[in-house]
Amino acid sequence: MILKAVTMISWELHPFHTLGGTAYAIRRLADQLTNLQIKTRVLLPDCVETFPGKDLSPLLMPRLLKMRAEQLRAPRVLQCSEFSRAALEALEQIRANGGSDAVIAHSLEGAISIILRNGDRSGGPSVFWLHSLYDPPISDLSKDQRRIFPSGSLLSSAVMMANIVVTSTGILKDAREFEWPDRLRELQNALIIASAEHRVLTVESMGCLPVANDSSCEMIHGSNLEKLKTVPSPYVLFPARPSLDKGLGFFAAIAERLRADNIACVAVQRPAPSAKPSNLCRNAPIYWLPWLTQDELLIAKRNAACTVLPSITEGFGLAAAESISQSVTTLYQQVGGHHGLETFPNALPVSLTTNERAQLYGLWSELIEFHDSWPVWKRYEISLRPLIDRWVEAIRSVVYRPNGVMREIENADFPEVPIEDRWANRLCRRIEVGPKIETERRMARSIEPAKLWPRDGRPRLIHLMPWDLTVGGAQRMLDVWCSYEAQRWDTHILTPGARGPFEFASATVHSELGRAQVLSLIESLQPDLLVHHEPSAENGIRSRCPQVWILHCTNSLREPPPQHVTPAMVFSNFDSPEIHSDWRLLPLKVLPLQIDAREFRPTKRKHVGLVCGIVGRLHEDKVPRSFIEAVLAWEPGSWRIRFIGHGLDTGYQQFVKRKFANISWVDFPGDVTPSKMPSALRGLDAVLIPTDSV
């Protein structure tokens, strides 16, 4: 099917009604669609102050929907219900006058329309665009209204009933890696199931960037930026909507700490003239600017030392992506849509542990319950102080050199985003191949696992790996295991990551799995033994069969063991007094690494200079940013640096190679097979291990 016309249901569309970044995102999506010659209707509510647009494409057709007067001051969820009712009436009229090839409902306000459509494809597939995780209670709806919801959550009901769900890979990553709090649990499960059913389309913030603007850094006379002239330099800018979910609480705490460093903190008020920061937030040393146009905001960014985005939750992370793409040094928190930005120039993530991400989701859950409550933030702020400390240090390191001199950031050119990665292009491709995906899904469901993977009289073994199956130590160990045990076991390898280069002799590899798919496969395969590599509280699996745990990272043994099951055996190659005492209560056995050291003895070589090797994947946990900066500042003398190993592409590899692109004494031979590793190591004079974790 070729898309010719779509209908979008949205509460916002710039410039008609703008509350924040979502309005700009939907307008850019609409412009991308019209550039593809797709007629794009946008249904908007008439209950809000609107501003007419100028220079619209004739293919972009906004339409204001009349809503019943008694609903205009009702609770938000009732307004959404009324808006969806009016939208369905409009859809019927559109169908009678030529129809639409797809219905795209955005965010909370469009969710009920997806539920009311109830799978009706007469106007094309129902597409639910999940811009945020704001999932308010539905108790204000009547019993009859709630009866049509398949769950107790508005967003999860829309996810369950949509033909296509659009979200970011970062949201799916968070859904798969740790358990969300009770309020968001139904949405988490719905996303995981939708992903397993191939109903999820992932798009990234870089696919919805504004058209490139060559604006200078000079102030616009008479603009909203006049107040910026009174701000002392240097300053850091909080460019997002000033709300707690975007990190305003973090920014206020950071501003208090930076006052002593003479670093000013600047934020932008909400677009509504009457919308002011809360009194509690006003007490923070923040310079407030009025709401800025896109051109004004770009100038404010380019005059800042950096932009700061300590978000609690992010749907797509558009504010960070825009800042990065505009060659502005950008510090951000790795949650939701912010995942994956670290591979781009000028992107500086402030690291988060999985537990800290889970804590932020818990905070967000309570903020939904108590309507963006500042006291809720202040209660969490105490336990989040270590994270706030890291933010303060990260900002200081960007603004100042260690000797106190202002640091000038060298801006790299931002790579052009491929056309096929734009939101509209990805959506069109997904809708057009939809029937093929449905057919493949039905065929896959009709095949029983026993027929797909016969045991042939052997016991069945499942290896559950939490990482990509790239060229790494744990993956190599698993490859050797499979080669020795190929005939004894019917072996299956399950991983949420990608498939790598190892053969894994006679094993069946199931890659890129969501948690729901992992659980389903374990249930279907009925293994006799489950070997869980690096289990944790976040990825723990309950099973009917016995489990063996293998720990590859020493940090895991320094923390208490997960409690979801009691393993039959725990294997590790690490023994130390640092092991947490609770591990000693389990059947823990230390296995030494079986390596023939003779294979790695250096040989006499004729060469000029000395070679130092870094062996491992070019991933941030193996080659940290701090090490890259140290190498760039180093005077090597007669030494060369050789990075042996590449790994599956995550984008970080290109980041590392760009950093060293003009340095003649650094080379990248790439991945080396296990059989060739001894000779590669014999060619080195020294080996460096720069990893932050082992």
pLDDT tier at 44, thresholds 50, 70, 90: very high
Q: Please say if the pLDDT value at position 310 is more than 90.
A: yes
3-state secondary structure of 302: helix
What's the pLDDT at 370? 75
Q: What is the DSSP letter of 501?
A: S
What's the pLDDT at 456? 79
Q: Where in the chain is the domain with CATH 3.40.50.11190?
A: 447-590
pLDDT tier at 320, thresholds 50, 70, 90: very high
pLDDT tier at 615, thresholds 50, 70, 90: confident
Q: Which residues contact 46 (CB under 8 A, 6 or more apart)?
A: 64, 65, 66, 67
What's the pLDDT at 405? 44
Cβ-based neighbour number of residue 226 at 10 Å:
13
pTM greater than 0.85 (yes/no): no
Token pair, residue 358, equals: 């889970």
What's the pLDDT at 694? 46
Token pair, residue 503, equals: 């053969």
Token pair, residue 546, equals: 């016995």
Q: Please say if the pLDDT value at position 251 is more than 80.
A: yes
For the chain, give the longest Cα–Cα distance: 88
Q: Where in the chain is the domain with CATH 3.40.50.2000?
A: 5-203, 224-415, 597-688
pLDDT tier at 25, thresholds 50, 70, 90: very high
Average pLDDT over residues 246-260: 94
pLDDT tier at 316, thresholds 50, 70, 90: very high
What's the pLDDT at 544? 83
What's the pLDDT at 691? 67
Domain 597-688 sits in CATH at: 3.40.50.2000
Could you please state the CATH topology (level 3) that the domain comprising 224-415 is classified under. Rossmann fold (3.40.50)
What's the pLDDT at 547? 95
Helix (H) or strand (E) holding 60: strand 60-65
Which H, E and C letters describe 185-239, residue by residue?
A: HHHHHHHHHHHHCCCEEECCHHHHCCCCCCCCCCCCCCCHHHHHHHCCCCEEEEC
Backbone angles phi, psi at 297, to 5 degrees: -65, -40
What's the pLDDT at 218? 63
pLDDT tier at 363, thresholds 50, 70, 90: very high
Beta-strand ranges (E) seen in 434-474 are 460-464
The arrangement of secondary structure in 5-203, i.e. its CATH architecture, is 3-Layer(aba) Sandwich (3.40)
pLDDT, tens digit, for every residue of 451-499? 566 777 889 999 999 988 876 778 888 888 888 887 889 999 999 887 7
pLDDT tier at 172, thresholds 50, 70, 90: very high
Cβ-based neighbour number of residue 314 at 10 Å:
30
Q: Please say if the pLDDT value at position 625 is more than 90.
A: no
Domain 447-590 sits in CATH at: 3.40.50.11190
pLDDT, tens digit, for every residue of 47-80? 656 666 667 889 999 999 988 877 777 888 899 9
What's the pLDDT at 594? 63
3-state secondary structure of 534: coil
What's the pLDDT at 598? 72
